[in-house]
Amino acid sequence: MDIINEFRNVLNDPYAYAGEWKKKNGKKVVGFFCSYAPEELVLAADCLPVRLFGTRDNIVHADAHLQSYSCSLIRGALEEALTGRLDFLDGAVFPHTCDSIQRLSDIWRMNMKFSFHWDVVMPVKLNTESAREYMRDVLHDFRDELSSGLGVEISDEKIQEAIALYNRIRSLLKKIYEIRSKFPSVISGSDMHAILRGSMIMDRHELPGRLEKIVEHLEAESANAEDSSAMRLMFTGGICDFPDIFTVIEESGGVVAWDDLCTGSRYFEGSISNAGDPVSAIAERYTSRVICPAKHASVTSRGENITELAKEHDIAGVIFLYLKFCDPHSWDYPYMKEYLDRAGVPSMLLEVEDRLPSEGQLRTRFETFIQTL
């Protein structure tokens, strides 16, 4: 699909895209690493929020600041910054999630001289009235800091426009995911990945139009879709920056029918109310969205969620996809696996350091797993 190629192109060189966008629009680019980043406010400030990942290059400079026992996201991100490849950025926003991102924020702030640095220290627990109120306060503070830092007014109207835009984008992404779940043969995993990832980089105003075209196309395709005989799998984990993994899964007889990933369903889940104070409405989404393991909703919410998703999407097997040294996800593994075991859903664990294992190794692992299903 041509329109998907646009997403692929952006993904191939996101920095070039962001640099050109800057030149064309004369506006600012703000980097972020986490799905808790309040993009809506960044957009309302007329900036382009660009999600950053690790590095495709070797780690050379980051070793002088981060020990090897930290994840490839923070080491890679710092590497990109230190080499100058992120010089197009005007700044970055760091919502509070895990210990590693917390220290990356300090090290980044101490070593890089971007024009802006925003820490948004969101609550870790999300299940009390005090936490809900603090989330609202933190976002109000962020709006003020964005406004004074950038020297722009961020009116309620602008925020409401941003909310409406993000609601559209997210519901379209969700629609695409739902089509994929029902008719896995109409779109490949790597195309799906490109769409998600591209949506975290591209001009958000252009996104709904592009995503709508994709939905139209996929709906048309699904009318004649063949039944897929592939084993229905689900990823659970943090970030997935591995487009190739989908191809290997598909060649091994599987298909990723849904996911519980920071860069997957948790990225688009949850719409924002357009009633009342817009900043508080945004806060509500981040407070009630399905959590990542660095947050707390209840002691069993993630186990329950993964079990429900597996049932809802008729999942034959779950793949825990973790970055090595990702503590929050790693801590949840035994109990989430136990929930899946009890529900009769087999699972496997794939830990990735910075690159996927060789294709051959990966294929063997997936084929072996899929055969047991």
Partner 1 sequence: MAEETKQKDPGAEERKIKSVKRMKEIMTGYYIDAKTARKNNNKVAWITSGGPVEPLIAMDIIPVYPENYGAMIGASKMGVELCEKAEEMGYSRELCSYARGDVASAIVNGGPIGGLPEPDLLVCCNNICGTVLKWYEIQARYFNVPLFIFDTPISHTNFSDSARKYVRSQIDEYFEVLESVTGEKFNYDKMGEVGKLSVETQRLWQAILDTTMHRPAPMSAFDAFFHLALIVTLRGTQTCIDYYRELLEEMNQRIASGISAVPEEKYRLLWDNLPIWYKTRWLSDKFASHDTCLVADTYTSAWSGSVDMLKEEDFIESMVDGYSRIWLNIGTDIMAEGILKMIDKYDVDGVVMHSNRSCKPYSLGQYDLQKIIMKERNLPTLFIEADMCDERNFSESQVETRIDAFMEIVKEKKASVK
Residue 236 touching partner 1 (CB under 8 A): no
Question: Least distance (Å) from partner 1 to the CB of residue 82?
Answer: 12
Residue 299 touching partner 1 (CB under 8 A): yes
- Given the complex with partner 1, which of 96 and 289 has the nearer CB atom? 96
Cβ-contact 168, 271 below 8 angstroms: no
d(CA 372, CA 260): 22
Residue 122, SS3 per DSSP = coil
Question: Least distance (Å) from partner 1 to the CB of residue 252?
Answer: 24
Size of the site for partner 1 (CB under 8 A): 51
Helix/strand number for the chain, H first, E second: 15, 8
Residues 249-278, interacting with partner 1 (CB under 8 A): none
Token representation of residue 299: 């002691």
Cβ-contact 183, 229 below 8 angstroms: no
Residue 324 touching partner 1 (CB under 8 A): yes
Residues 130-169, interacting with partner 1 (CB under 8 A): 130-131, 133-134, 137-138, 140-141
Question: Least distance (Å) from partner 1 to the CB of residue 128?
Answer: 7
DSSP output for 11-50? HH-HHHHHHHHHHHH---EEEE-STTS-HHHHHHTT-EEE
Torsion of CA 195, 199, 205, 210, to 10 degrees: 0
**Adjacent-strand bridge partners of 261:** 237
- Given the complex with partner 1, which of 60 and 124 has the nearer CB atom? 124
Residue 69 touching partner 1 (CB under 8 A): yes
- Given the complex with partner 1, which of 16 and 349 has the nearer CB atom? 349
CA atoms 29, 34, 38, 40: torsion sign: positive
Write each residue from 166 to 185 as x if it is in contact with partner 1 (CB under 8 A), else as -, in one continuous string.
Answer: --------------------
Q: Which of 14, 49, 54, 123 binds partner 1 (CB under 8 A)?
A: 123
Residue 101, SS3 per DSSP = helix
**Adjacent-strand bridge partners of 211:** none
Which amino acid type is present at position 19?
G
Q: Which of 221, 244, 327, 367 binds partner 1 (CB under 8 A)?
A: 327
Residue 348 touching partner 1 (CB under 8 A): no
Torsion of CA 3, 355, 178, 171, to 10 degrees: -70
The total of other beta-carbon atoms located within 10 Å of residue 144's CB is 11
Q: Which of 55, 70, 190, 280 binds partner 1 (CB under 8 A)?
A: 70
Distance of CA 16 to the CA centre of its chain: 20
Q: Which of 8, 109, 168, 182 binds partner 1 (CB under 8 A)?
A: 109
Residue 351 touching partner 1 (CB under 8 A): yes
Q: Which of 125, 205, 311, 342 binds partner 1 (CB under 8 A)?
A: 125
d(CA 319, CA 302): 15
d(CA 143, CA 233): 40
Q: Which of 59, 121, 225, 348 binds partner 1 (CB under 8 A)?
A: 121
Residues 79-108, interacting with partner 1 (CB under 8 A): 96-100, 102-107
- Given the complex with partner 1, which of 251 and 353 has the nearer CB atom? 353
Q: Which of 77, 330, 369, 370 binds partner 1 (CB under 8 A)?
A: 330
- Beta pairing, strands 91-95 & 317-323: unpaired
- Given the complex with partner 1, which of 121 and 290 has the nearer CB atom? 121
Residue 305 touching partner 1 (CB under 8 A): no
d(CA 268, CA 278): 18
Using the rule CB under 8 A, give the single segment among 62-70, 163-171, 177-185, 234-242 that binds partner 1: 62-70
Cβ-contact 108, 52 below 8 angstroms: no
Interface ranges with partner 1 (CB under 8 A): 64-67, 69-70, 96-100, 102-107, 109-111, 119, 121, 123-125, 128, 130-131, 133-134, 137-138, 140-141, 293-294, 296, 299-300, 324-325, 327-328, 330-335, 337, 351
